Structure 1
Amino acid sequence: MQLFGLTDLRCEYRVNPVGIGNRVPRFSWKLTGTGRGIKQASYRIQASEGDPLFQTLTWDSGQVRTDQSVHIPYEGSPLKSRTIYHYRVRVRDSRGAESDWLSAFWETGMMDFAEWTAHWITCDLELNNRSPEASQMFRKTFEAGESPVSARIYATALGIYELELNGKRLNENKFLPGWTSYHKRLQTQTFDVTDLVRRGDNAIGITVADGWYKGRIGGHPNNFYGDQRAALLELHLKYEDGRQEIVITDGSWRVDTGPIVMASIYDGETYDARLEKEGWSTSSYEDDDWLPVSILDHGKQMLVPEENLPTRVMRELKPIAVLRSPAGEKILDFGQNMVGWVSYSVMAPTGTIIELAHAEVLDRDGNLYTDNLRSAKQTTRYVCRGSGSEVYEPRFSFQGFRYVKVTGYPDDVSLESFTAHVIYSALDETGTFECSDESINQLQSNIVWGQRGNFLDVPTDCPQRDERLGYTGDAQVFIRTAAFNMDVASFFTKWLRDLKADQLPSGGVSNTVPDTLPGWDLHSAAGWGDAAVICPWTLYLCYGDKRLLEEQYDSMKLWVEFIRNLGEEEFLWNSGFQFGDWLALDAPAGSYAGATPKDFIATAFYAHSTDLLVKAARVLGKEKDVAEYEELHKRVLEHFNLEFVSKNGRLVSPTQTAHVLALGFGLVEGTVRTRVEQDLIELLEQSNHKLTTGFLGTPYLCSTLTDIGRTDLAYKLALSRDFPSWLYSVEQGATTIWEHWDGRNADGSFWSADMNSFNHYAFGAIGDWFYRVVSGIDTDSEQSGYKHTRIHPRPGEGLTYARASYQSMYGEILSLWTIEDGIMIIQITLPPNTTGTVILPNARQEEVTEGGMRLSESYGIRHVVPQEKDIRLELESGSYRFQYAWRL
């Protein structure tokens, strides 16, 4: 008997989201069951405003005959702000079985900025003889006549903030309200505080630090977005008799500074425990000596309910060793390059200063190496209170580190006293990859840790030096790998909205999002600005999110038109600022840009973005645009070949990146393509199979070799341990991805002090090749979001085993292969309500068995199509085990 049911009911990618602003939210679920061929035949959704029993409905879809189980839009009565909605789903499968109801809820935030009645409150600290670097603490007491049945706080800040209510800190979520293009979009958060408000006197506290808003960022001094921190808050109380009360930020609040005397994104945090104001967020605290607040004249039109998943402490690590450096330093080694902070316990006399300096690596002598941090100090200081055991944990700064130099700690530095708190956006980890080569497994771990460290509200380039910016180039080259490793749909949706908000009227795109370079001419570089097109299209492929594609379409189109109108030549991109193939090893001396001509790269990306725009227009039914941009793409290809291909079919640029882009983007055809393929192979052979590519060539290198039938060369590159290679850094002990192939030399010396991050995920884009080629998991672009999965594992010399899993929106996809004693075993899992195409490599139909049976006898296999060397199978959902003799 087949078991059948539902699981993982979600609203806008989230389980029971609170405070969202979607006026037409979408629902998704997964089917469960045993056996093969499980398929949804129909669904029914019911929604109710505040009624978990569904006795009164705002929507009843009725029985809808479809197999769609993701992105089902709400079609009921218009939604209200600050309201909880319950919904439930029941489905029938193709055999007529019906599931039980599965229920969940979502809650709307303050959906319209005009609803806010609170005022922005602030205080000029310097004018009131307080340190302007110190964090501000705002407080307010209020009275509740009785315990409310519902209490919600809606809040945001100019700066980053934490909330307290009746002495309890609310923030499991860190660095609120997150980093957006603040003048255009500022997120607000919703907190359920029903259980914390009590009858009688209560108190609210808000601490606000500089954060990205007022602190220095992106090479700018302080006050990049504004010169005053401020808080905005409303507490809405609902009572059993229907009464409602609102507490708002206004002139009645009080403000002061406290123990956080400095907090900076780059420089760290200084905390003086002697300045603590015990009980400051309780109603009994005496605040007569506190300052009155000022009302800040700042608009609210930019306010939007929270879109991204919040930053949280996601892991905790203990140090693995205490080192004594040649310079006499006490250094903690946490064994993993990470992002976050370190907490510790201590007993010391009052006024004792404990300092932690954070770094990614040690120098060749074993001392803490901080030159690559440039001006970022990455230091926390704690001034002891001097009364018993004290525990310190930073709150408003983060560091990128593996090693921590401890100064001033009064006792022996013990492993037990220190804990590293790893922070990043709270993204579900959806993918796993492992194989028979432990170095590759370490590389995969490095890729994932690089993503953890740099996906902190925005996709940063690096998390340690005085940069930490949302570089568009890094994001677009890594996004496909990122979408395998984690559920990044909400993360990139929010970021792309900022990209669109910061996009220039001309269509140009900042090289960082949010834009930290306004007014500069250094924007809209090829491979960077193209994130406007590449990222939405990739999210559509991975999640089937047609709404996001529609939302970003104008931005995508505007970017292509920007290129089209740039300079004097409509069909070539040969003007404007360019990074080129950043950090390629064939760069001329004294340059960061590789040898591939910048106009070659720019025109290649011009063609690529135009091609993706055509595909997006086709998905969205914009046939007029399809015709127009197909013609533009054709003309760009013509001019590319006239400009960059010789009469004999040779590319004018003899670099690996030039050949990879020409092939990977489909810029050459026929005999020219054949020649370019041969030349790429020759270039690799001339270099003894050493890569020379940079940020823009590397992500496409191995996949392009696979596309031209030379997966064997891709394996040689991927498994190489010599410099330059992905595994070279692993051999040097790396635990994250390096910015440079030679970030650290074998003798312990460093490539550079100016630009040498050891946690920089761009070259980690090789992870996409592990998933899509080695294990073979890919989505079908015609049925995006893994509704139909293509699985084509491609074993290669050097591996005898590979396993990848991916938690799609339909459920887990698995591809596992092993080769032992001349026998190939391939295990496949396709989740319910999906289908798949599976390619069995180097297989003969008469030799293949599935679960011990011939293919023609196996249930769930719809078609068997022998090909030149392979067998193509069309499968229903379920798990399969294929076995056959392996021949190369």
Structure 2
Amino acid sequence: MTSTSLAPQPAGLRQASVSRFSAEYRTDTAFVANPRPRLSWVVATESTDWQQTRAELRLTRAGAVESAVHEGPDSVLVEWPFEAIDAGEQVAVEVRVSGNDGGTTAWSAPLALAGGYLEGPWQAEAIGLPVLSRAEIPLGQPGQLRHEFTVGPGLAKATLFATAHGVYQAEINGSEVDDQVLKPGWTAYADRLNHETTDVTALLKQGANAIGVWLAGGWYTEKYGFHGFATPFYGEQPAVKVELHLEYADGTRQTVASGPEWRGTTAGPLVSSGIYAGESFDARRIEAGWSLPDFDDSRWLPACLDSRAADSRTAGSKPWAEATPAVAPPVRRIEELPVREVLTTPSGATVLDFGQNLVGRLRIRVSGDAGRRITLRHAEVLEDGELSLRPLRLAAATDSYTLAGGGEDSGEEEWEPRFTFHGFRYAQVDNWPGELDPAAITAVVIHNDMRRTGWFECSDPMLNRLHENALWGMRGNFLALPTDCPQRDERLGWTGDIQVFSPTASYLYDSLGFLSSWLQDLAIEQSHRNGVVPIVVPAVLGMLESPVAAWGDAATVVPWVLYERFGDLGLLGRQYRSMCDWADALLRVRDSSGLWQGQMQLGDWLDPAAPPDKPGAARTHGDIVASAYLFRSLDLTAKAAAVLGADDDHGKYSALAEDVRSAFLAEYVTPAGRMVSDAQTAYSLALMFGISTDPVQRQALGDRLAELARLGGYRIATGFVGTPLVADALTVTGHMDAAERLLTQTECPSWLYPVTQGATTIWERWDSILEDGTVNPGEMTSFNHYALGAIADWMHRTVAGLAPAAPGYRKQHIAPRPLRSLQHAGTSHETPYGLASVAWKRSGERILVEAVVPPGTTAVVSLPDGSEEFEVGSGRYAWDVPDAAPAAAYGAVSLDSPLSAIMDDPEAYAAVWQAIDAHDPAAAAQFRKDTVWYRQTSLNQGLIFTPAPIKREIGSALSALSGTRTDVPSLAPREH
């Protein structure tokens, strides 16, 4: 071994401590969704090679103390060792941990928990806004509901439970009950509703009190569909259930529940509201004190009992599903961004640039005359200097605010939309009174309030921006559910997008609770379709109800990823039936060859070779994608069965996967290692799904993949399916240089091309903005789609070098692979056991690697010098090894050099196209885009139609370049 370990010396028996103690899955509230919540804790210690030997748990309930001992090393999602927590019961639990260093931590700070579920069925009735006749009220009309009640003396605790068909916010005595937005989110409404549980004791007082509810349709009354055929799916009007539980010191209880005695209005300031349309607010219609007691609501009408739900498509005999506590962290206001620049468009409009494509809405502060209506319109990009609205399709994405006014002494009015959101970087402001002060408008970023857990940085600012774009893409699309895009008339839970992005999502944020919630809906929707997973969850499109490869496979891939990344065996067990049902559904559509063929597929969606109006027309045949995923889902189901101890299922699905493997190789792979679809995605699937296992064949497939990458000039040639796999497929077959060229390419299509165009999120299409600056003419042109940002996972695992080697990072794989073009790179990840990190930097001809392995874990280390792997325990480490991939040494080049040698020599390639560009920029662009970089064709032959004077200049440029390389032989660079 050529490396030396510089592991720190033990610092003695410094006192270890419990640095984080939590219950599944939410940490933002004491209320738990599970009567027996699993517990996790993180230990901080200076001791190296530290492992937990036992943990003691102490529970305090009703003044009594109970204890339990947990033997062994497990500290993540440990089963609850006490009696279940009753509904509304408040307990406190502490933990102290003993380690193999002989020490024991102090008791942790008490973790307060409370049963966040109802003891019995809801007493509240579902109520909607008053309606005299259906003709009077538009679809999804928003409004307000209110009710007054009396609180007696000695109030000890008050807990609010609420859910909705739609979106709501509650106020008590004039104050909002929490800081959440768009509650209760979007679930498969007919079968599952979330409710929030909120401690509102501090908002109540003895005597008269009032509760008010803002209510709008949100996702429940939205129209879904494409090409102008969108229709309502769930219901026409929103409704809400509200239940307030009061507990007094003397043990008595009181319940305030929604019912027909509540009163409501649709004549309030919230004029209209829609997810796609935006929101309209008229401040002249505000009724001050409406959520305070003693408000005169005589003009308000009795609330309607929600009998209308029985008319919806999905209601049937059970219009309101049982509401259960939310397990995903809620949507909140996360960040605020100021205006970066105020622009005046060619048409004279005022447009604000916030410098970042984001998801949220605007908050304005304004003074002016009563009745002035300010309009805010949102867009992601500009085209010809104006807002580019065509990509929004039928989404108006427009908010409006009508001022209350009231004269010079009325002061500023402040407003932010309540029940909508937009994807935007730019906002056009119309009819602003007087001169616009940019400080008066703020962009409010909203998404589910997940804990950030992953970071990456390197010496290349463009790669840092790419990673940041992937991060912002996730932030914008993790809003209530994992959506495809946040701006146009879609924003749906496309299963294919999260299937490919789930590893990246699991690294960047603690997304376990969020995705666990969504997977419940996936299983529900699947159960209505005989095991078939719909292409969007919740399922609102009613299209492609047959199995679709790479989309429906979210049923197997996402639970397995969450098990790998978080170690959640319970979730894997819960989703196991869904995994089997999907696998069985695929077995029913196999043809006589044993493969999945002959059905409509989305395939390698948005392959850059696909025409703008045919995004599924990829270079890799859909049958290859489908059959590869057939193997993938059978293989993952077999692995899950093994982990869960379902031995019979393991044998069954393993055997079926082997049958598919054999059939796939016989059908699609030639003996020489070529694939029937000679395209990068096909090779990547065979390699990274483990379909090809023979080392000779795998090398042949990898060699051809690398050749295809070079033939295409190291421009991206993959879509949604192949893009997350191609860099890994090149890496594992020894073509790291080719993977690097793909990653660092700036020509279109590439990961960095959008960065060169100023992108601040990941685009849906590789060329959402064309090279001439115009917006792609395809109907689907989003500038915030996270799927292609899945490359970030390779950057974490390979470029920086940190990956899980056992579920939940109980063992890590530290294996940095320094890119030639970088001087340093590093990543850190807050694993379930604590912070792990790897960083490397070049120093002369050496590579310095530093790593942190968190307590309770180990790591397998593979250093970049190619030395033998070894294992280490927890602690801080540093290694100094030879640089196995120093800057490439290139030889002399000329017109007689092979095209492949020119492409593999970045300086020579630049010299050639720049010589052409000096005379004919259009010809240079065509040369760069259309040349096929063959191994046995010379540059001179490739320039057959190039005028002789330009050829001579190219020859001179190459000769000058070669002159700087006189001591270097004419050899093509090595691949690693």
Q: Does 1:354 align with 2:362?
A: no
> Residues 685-834 of structure 1 correspond to what in structure 2 (within 5 A)?
685-780=710-805, 783-834=806-857
- 1:715-761 Cα offsets, whole Å, 9 max, x none, are 11101111111010000000000011111122211222510000001
Q: Distance in 2 between matches of 1:222 and 1:195?
A: 43
Deviation of the 1:523 alpha carbon: 4.5
Contact 2:504 2:790 in 1 (8 A): yes
Q: 1:216 & 1:94 partners in 2: Cα distance?
A: 59
Q: Does 1:94 pair with 2:100?
A: yes
Within 1, Cα distance between the matches of 2:761 and 2:27?
30
Counterpart residue identity of residue 375, structure 2:
E
Give the superposition deviation at 1:685.
1.8
Partner of 2:534: 510
Match of 1:56 in 2: 64
Letter in 1 for 2:354: F
- Cα displacement string for residues 402-433 of structure 1 (whole angstroms, at most 9, x for unaligned residues): 00001000121222111000000001110000
Q: Deviations over 1:282-313 (max 9, x none)?
A: 00210011101122246554311112110000
> Does residue 504 of structure 2 align to residue 481 of structure 1?
yes
Structure 1 residue 648 displacement after superposition: 4.3
Q: Is the 8 A contact 1:133 1:261 kept in 2?
A: no
Q: 1:46 aligns with which of 51, 58, 74?
A: 58
For 1:854, the equivalent position in structure 2 comes to: none
Which of 11, 18, 37 pairs up with 1:6? 18
Match of 1:367 in 2: 386
- Is the Cα contact below 8 Å between 2:131 and 2:304 reproduced in 1? no
Equivalent AA in structure 1 for residue 576 of structure 2: Y
The answer on whether the counterparts of 1:18 and 1:190 sit within 8 Å (CA) in structure 2 is no
Equivalent residue in structure 1 for 2:870, among 862, 869, 873: 873
Task: State the match for 1:382 in structure 2.
Answer: 401
**Separation in 1 of the partners of 2:709 and 2:28?**
51
- 2:691 alignment partner, SS class: coil
Equivalents in 2 of 1:719, 1:131: separation in Å?
52
Structure 1 residue corresponding to 2:71, chosen from 61, 65, 70: 65
- For residues 463-517 of structure 1, give each alpha carbon's deviation from its aligned partner in whole angstroms, at most 9, with x where no partner exists: 0000000100000100001111100000100000000000044210000011112
Instruction: Summarize deviations over 1:305-356 as a string: whole Å, max 9, x none.
Output: 1121100000000011100111111000000000000011111111101001
1:726 match: secondary structure: coil
- Could you tell me how far apart the structure 1 residues matched to 2:524 and 2:138 are? 34
Work out whether residues 627 and 664 of structure 2, in 8 Å CA contact, stay in contact via their aligned partners in 1. Answer: yes
CA distance in 2, matches of 1:620, 1:175: 37
Instruction: Give the counterpart letter for 2:791 in structure 1.
Output: I
Structure 2 partner of 1:675:
700
Closer/same/farther in 2, CA of residues 413 and 391 from structure 1, 3 Å limit = same
Decide whether aligned partners of structure 1 residues 570 and 122 sit closer, same or farther in structure 2, where only a CA change above 3 A counts.
farther
Please give the per-residue CA displacement for 1:349-378, whole angstroms capped at 9, x wherever unaligned.
Answer: 111010010000000x21111110000010
Find the aligned partners of 2:470 and 2:612 in 1 and give their Cα distance: 29
Determine helix, strand or coil for the equivalent of 1:400: strand
Sort the Cα spacing of 1:174 and 1:570 in 2 relative to 1 into closer, same or farther, 3 A. Answer: farther
After TM superposition, list the pairs within 5 Å mapping 1:96-115 onto structure 2.
Answer: 96-102=102-108, 103-111=110-118, 114-115=120-121
| Structure 2 alignment gaps of length 5 or more | 1-11, 310-317, 886-976
Say whether the 8 Å CA contact 2:275–2:419 is kept in structure 1.
Answer: yes
Letter in 2 for 1:384: L
The yes-or-no answer on 1:332 pairing with 2:352 is: yes
After the TM superposition, which of the residue ranges 827-836 and 528-537 deviates more from structure 2? 827-836
Greater alpha carbon shift after TM alignment, 732-741 vs 141-150:
141-150
Structure 1, 463-472 or 124-133: larger mean CA deviation: 124-133
Contact 2:860 2:869 in 1 (8 A): yes
| Separation in structure 2 between the aligned mates of residue 725 and residue 360 of structure 1, nearest angstrom | 20
**Residue in structure 2 matched with residue 451 of structure 1 by the alignment:** 474
**Contact 2:494–2:536 under 8 Å retained in 1:** yes
Deviation of 1:86 after TM superposition, in Å, equals 1.3
Per mean C-alpha deviation after superposition, the further-off stretch among 768-777 and 871-880 is: 871-880
Aligned residues: 851
Cα deviation, residue 575, structure 1: 3.9
Q: Kindly tell me: are residues 640 and 758 of structure 1, through their superposed partners in 2, closer, same or farther at Cα, counting changes over 3 Å?
A: same
Q: Structure 1, residues 133-162: CA drift from partner, whole Å, max 9, x if none?
A: 541211000011125110000111111000
User: Which residue of 656, 663, 670 maps to 1:632?
Assistant: 656
Which one has a larger percent strand, Structure 1 or Structure 2?
Answer: 1
Instruction: Please say which of residues 561-570 and 656-665 is displaced more in the overlay.
Output: 561-570
Greater Cα shift, 619-628 or 124-133: 124-133
For residues 510 and 589 of structure 1, what CA distance do their matches in structure 2 show?
A: 24
Listed one character per residue, the Cα deviations across residues 570-617 of structure 1 (whole Å, up to 9, x for unaligned) are 721114431011010232675211121111110001001111111111
CA distance change for structure 1 residues 126 and 333 in 2, over 3 Å: closer, same or farther? farther
Tell me which residue corresponds to 2:287: 277
Shift of 1:116: 1.2
Q: Is 1:245 equivalent to 2:254 in the alignment?
A: yes
1:374 and 1:753 in contact (8 A); partners too: no
Q: Choose which of 486, 492, 500 in structure 1 pairs with 2:523.
A: 500
Q: Where does residue 665 of structure 1 map in the other structure?
A: 689
Contact conserved, 1:16 with 1:106, CA < 8 A, in 2? Answer: no
Corresponding residue to 1:312 among 332, 343, 347: 332
1:321 paired with 2:330, answer no
Tell me if 1:572 matches 2:578.
Answer: no
Superposed CA offset, 1:540-560 (max 9, x none) = 000000000000001001101
Percent sequence identity over matched residues? 37
User: Hey, what does 1:26 align to over in structure 2?
Assistant: 38
Contact persistence 2:451–2:509 (CA under 8 A): yes
CA RMSD of aligned residues (A): 1.6
Query: Of 213, 227, 231, which aligns to 1:206?
Result: 213
Find out whether 1:426 has 2:449 as its counterpart.
yes
Change (3 A) 1:751 1:795: same
Q: Which moved more, 1:870-879 or 1:690-699?
A: 870-879
Report the alpha carbon displacement of residue 223 of structure 1 after superposing the two structures with TM.
3.6
Contact 1:371 1:753 in 2 (8 A): no
d(CA) in 2 for partners of 1:119 and 1:94? 56
Aligned partner letter, 1:401: F
Q: Distance in 2 between matches of 1:666 and 1:799?
A: 30
Alpha-carbon contact 1:511-1:523 (below 8 Å) kept = no
Q: Which residue of 1 aligns with 2:630?
A: 606
Asked if structure 2 preserves the Cα contact closer than 8 Å seen for 1:522 and 1:577, the reply is no
Amino acid at match of 1:445: E
TM-aligned CA distance change 1:144 to 1:561, over 3 Å: same
How many Å separate the matches in 2 of 1:660 and 1:155?
A: 48
Pair 1:193-2:218 in alignment: no
Most deviating of 429-438 and 408-417: 408-417
**Equivalent residue number for residue 263 of structure 1:** 273
- Residue equivalent to 1:652: 676
CA offset at residue 632 of structure 1?
0.2
Q: Which residue is equivalent to 1:620?
A: 644
Q: Residue 445 of structure 1: CA displacement?
A: 0.7
| One-letter amino acid matched to 1:233 | V
Q: Pick from 486, 495, 503: which aligns with 1:463?
A: 486
* 3-state SS of paired residue (2:609): coil
**In the alignment, is the contact (CA less than 8 A) between 2:15 and 2:103 conserved in 1?**
no
Q: Distance in 2 between matches of 1:873 and 1:784?
A: 19
Distance 1:562 1:93, change over 3 A: same
**Change in 2 beyond 3 A, CA 1:515/1:132:** closer
Deviation at 1:228, TM superposition (A): 2.9
Question: Separation in 2 of the partners of 1:788 and 1:648?
Answer: 38
Task: Give the TM-score of the pair, scaled to structure 2.
Answer: 0.85
Separation of aligned partners in 2, 1:455 and 1:569? 41
Is the contact between residue 25 and residue 327 of structure 2 (CA under 8 Å) also seen in structure 1? no
Shift of 1:653: 0.8
**Structure 1: segments with no counterpart, 5+ residues:** 843-868
Q: Distance in 1 between matches of 2:869 and 2:798?
A: 16
Q: 2:702 touches 2:729 (CA, 8 Å); kept in 1?
A: no
C-alpha separation in 1, matches of 2:16 and 2:848: 29
Offset from partner CA, 1:8-55 (integer Å, 9 cap, x none)? 100003336344321321000000112312221110112233x4xxx4
Q: Which amino acid aligns with 1:31?
A: V
Note closer, same or farther for the CA distance 1:694–1:18 as it changes in structure 2 (3 Å cut): same
